[in-house]
């Protein structure tokens, strides 16, 4: 792994490796890019000019986060990125406090259905693997599906254009 801007926690690295294996079939192809709570999980779409100076790949994940946040209240979120520089964003993890596993499973399924055409994978992981506050938070990983980044970009920018 090439040098990152900050040193991820062991819990973040372990969870990123599991997400990488589950999503792309190999460990280590994605890494944590930010600390818990540093990913902009609630984009300021109503603030004129807020995202006009953001890189395109960040805008994609802001759009995805806005769609996810319509169903699951995102909290303690952190970015995932490709393991080699320039470490472009490949997804994010949100770790909200949860009271009902069954309700969370239903919410994750609802978001998965909502973003299926965007080629987005949404998966909940055991609270014991949370990087923020295990076992009280449940990690929810949101990544693009293997070899589907162009479709995710198309859908996200289409959505942003409709909601700007």
For residues 120 and 146, what is the distance between their CA atoms, to the nearest angstrom?
9
Q: Is the pLDDT of residue 48 over 90?
A: no
Residues forming beta bridges with residue 82, ordered by sequence position: 30
Mean pLDDT of the chain: 85
Structure tokens at 119: 């080629």
For residues 136 and 99, what is the distance between their CA atoms, to the nearest angstrom?
9
For residues 138 and 22, what is the distance between their CA atoms, to the nearest angstrom?
17
Quote the pLDDT of residue 163: 78
Q: What tens digit of pLDDT does each residue of 97-112 get?
A: 877 777 888 999 999 9
Q: What tens digit of pLDDT does each residue of 60-104 get?
A: 888 898 899 889 888 888 889 888 777 788 899 998 887 777 788
* Stated pTM of the model: 0.87
Structure tokens at 122: 């949404």
- Residue boundaries of the structural domains of the chain: 10-159
């Amino acid at each position: 792994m090439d040098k990152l801007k900050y040193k991820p926690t062991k819990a973040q690295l372990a969870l990123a490796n599991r997400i990488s294996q589950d999503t792309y079939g190999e460990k280590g192809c994605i890494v944590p890019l930010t600390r818990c709570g540093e990913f902009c999980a609630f984009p300021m779409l109503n603030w004129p000019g807020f995202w006009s100076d953001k890189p395109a790949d960040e805008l994609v994940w802001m759009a995805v986060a806005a769609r996810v946040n319509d169903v699951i209240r995102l909290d303690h979120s952190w970015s995932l990125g490709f393991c080699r520089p320039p470490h472009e964003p490949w997804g994010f993890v949100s770790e909200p406090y949860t009271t009902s596993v069954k309700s969370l499973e239903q919410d994750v399924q609802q978001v998965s259905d909502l973003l299926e055409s965007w080629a987005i994978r949404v998966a909940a992981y055991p609270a014991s693997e949370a990087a923020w506050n295990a076992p009280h938070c449940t990690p929810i990983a949101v990544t693009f599906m293997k070899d589907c980044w162009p479709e995710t970009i198309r859908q996200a920018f289409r959505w942003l254009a409709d909601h700007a």
